[in-house]
Amino acid sequence: MKDDTVVKMKLFNNKKSNGVHPTENKLSSHKKIESTGLPKEVTLPLCQHIGAPAQAIVKRGDEVKTGQKIAEACGFVSVPIHSTVSGKVKKITKTVSAVTSRVMEAVVIESDGKDEWVELNKPAHPGTLSKEEIIERIKEAGIVGLGGATFPTHVKLQPPPDKPIDSIIINGCECEPYITSDHRLMLEHGEEILKGLEIMMNVIGCKRAYIAIEDNKPDAVRNMKELLSKDKYPGKITVESLGTQYPLGAEKTLLKRILGREVPVGCLPMEVGVVVQNVGTLKALYDAIYLGKPLVERVVTVTGMVKEPKNLLSRFGRPAKELIDMCGGIVGDADELIFGGPMMGVTQPRFDEPTQRGTNSILVKKSEKVPESNCIRCGACVESCPMNLMPTVYVQFTKNEWYEELEDYWIENCVECGSCAYSCPANIPLVQYIKVGKSELAKLRCK
């Protein structure tokens, strides 16, 4: 093992932070990543990221190739969109985002089945690229956070001069039930993840990194440690094995657990000298810099009430139903489709909803219609909240339309993890009330 690389394993006590322990249901953790055939048609919304939507630069009838840019970024916090198949633009339509409920444009492309790629801008010597060249390549490749938040990665790599970064935390926790896509990436593409981390450390100028993995993935912990011991990486990289607890993967929770730092309300981790990045994003960084590939696909866990849960490498824009059929179809009387997990995922309006950059999992389940009861003031939601907030107060204020008071109780610090609702014996949908409260508070500020 190289002298400048520290590889160790720490087991943290779960009592250090609040949270819950939902049944893991990691049904596909042993299933290797499978490639999927080309979709016949893809629907690509022009806002698959936090920030300004991209603007279409193609029109109906245009011939496009895989990896070709079809929409330009509009602003600093924005990224371009690329075609995920080769073929013809069938139409440019309007669609409603199932995540934000906003109306946006989407480009529909009919595949020609050839998968002809644009010429990839693969550098002859990636190690000679300047910081500015790397950041530009990352932005042009459309790289966003693949842990679910879809925050443009090039923005994270350019912190203000007065906010130096001393630590990077790589999020491989994957604490949400059912989802195993990150787990399989660490087992099957660990080397690419570490090369992506090296790129990030060099760009930011940071010499300290932590790879955080829950201890229910001992094979991933072992594999990342072994890979680190074989090669030389910049600075010190530590594998941290953390006691399993939800929502450990939330970046503010993870940051506090590893470094003991708290992010101020309404701020990003860079405020306390840290950048948090998902393992899938690092794999995408490797593809962009070493292979010249834009972000057109990701690993998706298809699980729940399907015949054979799997981890599938799928192009964006493919209908979820096609991936479900690749897993043997639906089993039983399932009637609900969720993009993401059962705690923080978003229920989709139909089973043929197209996958997007933030779709790390497709969960098929039977919906549970449980009546809401009155709050009994038991305090379970307060006890389970990882941010030490008072969810029951948010419900009371939202029901009474006392939106301005929400700010005094730090509602913006809520990460919407769902631990409160999971713990509530009265079955109150606390997260839904919190979302409404946040939205109404934002409207008041705009007046």
Query: With 90 as the cut, is the pLDDT of residue 401 above it?
Result: yes
Phi-psi region of 418 (alpha: psi -120 to 50; beta: other; left: phi over 0): left
Tell me how far CA of residue 48 lies from CA of 85, 122, 145, 246, 428, in angstroms: 17, 25, 11, 26, 30
Helix 218-230 crosses helix 190-204 at what angle (to 10 degrees)?
60
Closest CA to 398 of 430, 347, 433: 433
**pLDDT band at residue 10 using 50, 70 and 90 as cut-offs:** very low
pLDDT at 92: 96
**Which pLDDT does position 3 carry in this prediction?**
35
How confident is the prediction for the chain on average, in pLDDT?
Answer: 91
Residue 439 binned pLDDT confidence (cut-offs 50, 70, 90): confident
User: 61 is written with which tokens?
Assistant: 């009838």
- The number of beta carbons lying within 10 Å of the beta carbon of residue 131 is 13
Percent of the chain's residues with pLDDT above 90: 80
* Pairing outcome for strands 361-365 and 297-304: parallel
Take residue 228 and report the two structure tokens written for it.
Answer: 């680190």
Q: Are strands 69-72 and 81-82 parallel, antiparallel or unpaired?
A: antiparallel
Please name the amino acid found at residue 123: P
419-445 as b/e, with b when 16 or more CB fall inside 10 Å? bbbbbbebebebbebbebbbebbeeee
Task: List the CATH code of the domain at 14-31+122-291.
Answer: 3.40.50.11540
The region of weakest confidence among 107-111, 220-224, 440-444 is: 440-444
Q: How confident is the model at residue 446 (pLDDT cuts 50, 70, 90)?
A: confident
**Quick one: pLDDT at residue 354?**
94
- Band of the pLDDT at 17, cuts 50, 70, 90? low
Q: Quick: pLDDT tens for 80-105.
A: 999 999 999 999 999 887 666 678 89
Spatial distance between the Cα atoms of 280 and 172, rounded to a whole number of angstroms: 9
Of 346, 342, 409, the residue nearest 382 (C-alpha): 409
For helices 430-446 and 391-399, angle between their N-to-C axes, nearest 10 degrees? 60
53-62, 98-107, 256-265, 410-419: range with highest mean pLDDT: 53-62
Q: What is the mean pLDDT of residues 147-174?
A: 93
Task: Name the token pair of 146.
Answer: 């693949």
Tens of pLDDT, residues 296-351: 999 999 999 999 999 999 999 999 999 999 999 999 999 999 999 999 998 999 99
Worst-scoring range by mean pLDDT, 13-22, 76-85, 249-258, 429-438?
A: 13-22
Question: Is the per-residue pLDDT at 7 higher than 70?
Answer: no
Q: Which residues of the chain does CATH 3.40.50.11540 include?
A: 14-31+122-291
Query: For residue 285, which of 378, 176, 201, 164 has the smallest C-alpha distance?
Result: 201
pLDDT of residue 398: 95
pLDDT recorded at residue 101:
66
pLDDT interval class at 442 (50, 70, 90): confident
Q: Is 107 helix (H, G, I), strand (E, B) or coil?
A: strand
Grade residue 149 by pLDDT with cuts at 50, 70 and 90: confident
Label residue 15 by pLDDT band (50, 70, 90): very low
Residue 27 has pLDDT above 80, yes or no: yes
Over residues 194-247, the pLDDT tens digits come to 999 999 999 999 999 999 999 999 999 999 999 999 988 888 999 999 999 999
The residue with tokens 């409160």 is 420
Q: Is the Cα dihedral 427, 432, 434, 440 positive or negative?
A: negative
Residue 445 scores a pLDDT above 90: no
Over range 366-373, report the average pLDDT.
90
pLDDT in the model for residue 264: 86
Region 167-177 average pLDDT:
96
CA nearest to 43, candidates 111, 99, 116, 102: 111
Q: 190-204 and 279-286 helices cross at what angle (nearest 10)?
A: 80
**Bridge-partner residues for 299, per DSSP?**
313
